[in-house]
């Protein structure tokens, strides 16, 4: 993934949609959701566009 979307900052390097050289997403848009019934803090929400990058190293 090369193209940075400056509207979507992201530090999840393990994602296949992450820009390799910068902390941005390469998608035009993403979907955010929650795995909680009643989300109260940022840890309750998730990027549902995450795809595990098969070529990524697990560090």
Note the residues at the interface with ligand SF4 (CB under 6 A): 8, 10, 12, 15, 17-18, 25, 27, 30, 47, 49-50
Residue with Cβ nearer ligand SF4 (8 or 58): 8
Residue with Cβ nearer ligand SF4 (12 or 45): 12
Residue with Cβ nearer ligand SF4 (41 or 52): 52
13 CB neighbour count, 10 Å cutoff: 13
Pairwise CA distance, residues 19 & 17, whole Å? 7
Torsion of CA 57, 5, 3, 53, to 10 degrees: 20
């Amino acid at each position: 993934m090369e193209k940075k979307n400056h509207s979507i900052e992201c530090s999840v390097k393990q994602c296949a949609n992450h820009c390799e050289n910068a902390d941005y997403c390469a998608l035009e848009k993403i979907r955010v959701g929650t795995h909680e019934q009643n989300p109260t803090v940022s840890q309750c929400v998730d990027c549902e566009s995450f795809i595990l990058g098969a070529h990524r190293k697990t560090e």
